[in-house]
Amino acid sequence: MRIFLDDIYDRRINVLSYIDNQRREVSLAEIAKATNLSKKTVSMIIKQFEQELDVSKEQFEVYYINQTIQGVYANNLDIVSISNNQLKHSILYKMIKHIFLMEKIDAITFCDIEFISPATFSRHRRKLQKILNQCDLSLTRTNEIRGDELRIRNFFFLFFSNASNIWAFDQEVYKEMEEYFGERIAGWENMNCIRKRQICLLLYICIVRISQKKVMKKSILTVLSERFQDGIYTKVFFEYFHLKKNRPEQQSWDETGAALLLLYKERLVDGEGFVIEAHQNFFNEENFKLVKYSHILAEKLIETFFQGSSTPPLYWKLRKELDMMHLLMETCFIDPKLFYYVYDEKNFFYADPTEKKIQKNIQTVIEELITKTEYGSFFKSIKKNTSQETLTDYVYLVTYTILVKFMHVELPKVRILIQNSKVFVGPIISQKIELLFSDKIEFVQNQLSSPDIIVTDTELTEKSDKAKEIFISSFSNSSDLDLLLEEIVKKIVEHYDDRHLYLS
């Protein structure tokens, strides 16, 4: 959502994000250098947050000497929620919300309401046009969003669901929708508030667009919704449009098909079991030609990551995700990265060695399929709405998720050798760290077993260069024990980075 923030709010979040990522006290000079702002500007921003943030001193604290800021500390702040609070004051947010509710913007009226100049409006309009172009949408001369209707709805859903963790529209409307679905959707009362809000938002967007005469056209999604009416959400959504909102029957089916696609895209119905036969009835080559290319990609991924073990559960779990991915890319895909707050890409998109290996293999798979197989012709047809990099990122997430479900992890244990000259200290230290780390460590008896860590209270004359030597004077020495725990954690992380995934 960073691209939707006004510059003044973007600078503020940039400062706060930097401080939070450091997890230590930082000076104004450090912040200024990292954010390319003056110390005076940084000082002003920090003082504003000091007044605004309602958090404990453990999360945010400013340090003064003679009323001058010397440093500031932040840890584990909810940056997204803080950013969203800033976003609501941004002109682009107000423009998009106005277009959503009113269909278009009258520039003169909007400038009067928001107390901005025509030049400011024009500048933000150009910025919005650029963002919409990235989504294969555009802005008309009358400031109306133009493009495929399903893609427009997806844009509004992604924008508003990421812009706030609370309902941003008429509370009475939300109350009415929640009561309606609560009476008709099994398990509604057990859903978390985020999922409820997203389902209501999805349907609310549909109703607002319908009221503006922006309706969905009949498609294969309509046909399939009518054919498979047994699903709980299919029935509830159709009745909501048809009976609750008095829409014609055919239009209600058109709207139901589109709403269901967005519902499943966002995984808002995870509670429903996955039945292979039901998926085959929906996703087959008669309904969607893309299924052919999902199969090609699935087979290649299984060959690359699962040693060719094409068991039905593995294959169909993979096919399910690839079918949805390809359908989205053919219809309404918008890169979700547009709606992130990213101020430190290195940290935000960090990948450990195992993850980098998966990413590299995915890149190779996609490159080979596009350049050497008929998958390349399919990619050309969806290339307008996605790039090869975006496709690779999506397939990486799908593959990684399936790997987590079907693969076992081999994680070498941290080998610890305890050689303490005091009779009772060794066993007690052993029990303390075993209780904390259990299956992540193993104790060895001598240096021939290649220990990772040697725990001792005296200098050893013979020791391995690869082993980390930790001096523990006594099991009751809290400082020594803390150091040992820190080193064990470091070694566990090192082994985790080199973990091995395998099929059982």
- Cα–Cα dist 109/101, whole Å: 15
Overall fold of domain 2-77: Arc Repressor Mutant, subunit A (1.10.10)
pLDDT of residue 273: 60
How many CB atoms within 10 Å of residue 391?
Answer: 22
How many residues are there in the chain?
A: 504
Helix locations, 212-352, DSSP H = 220-227, 232-239, 249-265, 276-282, 291-305, 312-331, 345-348
* Cα 246 to Cα 238: distance, rounded to the nearest angstrom: 11
Cβ contact 362:396 at 8 Å: yes
Tokens (6 digits) for 249? 């029957």
Domain ranges of the chain: 2-77, 87-265, 276-406, 410-502
| Residue 417 neighbours by CB distance under 10 Å | 22
**Identity of the amino acid at 24:** R
> CA 225 to CA 263: how far, in whole Å?
13
State how far the Cα of 154 lies from the Cα of 327, in Å rounded to an integer.
14
Bridge pairing between strands 68-74 and 145-146: unpaired
pLDDT of residue 463: 65
Amino acid at position 492, single letter: I
Under 8 Å between Cβ of 408 and 503: yes
Task: Compute the chain's Rg from CA coordinates.
Answer: 28
Query: Would you write out the chain's pLDDT as a tens digit for each of its 504 residues?
Result: 999 999 999 999 999 999 999 999 999 999 999 999 999 999 999 999 999 999 999 999 999 999 899 999 999 999 999 999 999 999 999 999 999 999 999 999 999 999 999 999 999 999 999 999 999 999 999 999 999 999 999 999 999 999 998 999 999 999 999 999 999 998 899 999 999 999 999 999 999 999 999 999 999 999 999 999 888 899 999 999 999 999 999 999 999 999 999 999 998 886 556 688 889 999 999 999 999 999 999 999 999 999 877 788 899 999 999 999 999 999 999 999 999 999 999 999 999 999 999 999 999 999 999 999 999 999 999 998 899 999 999 999 999 999 998 888 888 899 999 987 777 888 899 999 999 998 899 999 888 888 999 998 887 766 667 888 899 888 888 888 999 999 999 999 998 888 888 776
The pTM score is: 0.92
Question: What integer pLDDT is reported at residue 97 of this predicted model?
Answer: 98
Q: Please, which residues have CB within 8 angstroms of residue 52's CB and are 6 or more apart in sequence?
A: none
CATH of 410-502, one of 3.40.50.2300, 3.40.50.1820, 3.40.1390.10, 2.60.120.380: 3.40.50.2300
Q: Which amino acid is at 356?
A: K
CB 475 within 8 A of CB 448: no
Residue 413 vs residues 74, 416, 438, 498, 499: alpha-carbon distances, Å: 34, 9, 10, 12, 11
Nearest to 257 by CA among 321, 329, 327, 196: 327
d(CA 472, CA 271): 51
Quick check: 338 and 3 in contact, CB under 8 A? Answer: yes
> Token pair for residue 344?
């430190």
DSSP β-ladder status, 453-456 and 414-419: parallel
Backbone angles phi, psi at 484, to 5 degrees: -60, -45
Q: What is the pLDDT of residue 305?
A: 93
Q: Provide the strand spans (E) within 101-249.
A: 138-139, 145-146
Cα–Cα distance for residue pair 83/90, rounded to 1 Å: 11
- Residue 341 one-letter amino acid: Y
Considering only CA atoms, which of 260, 150, 143, 161 is closest in space to residue 201? 161
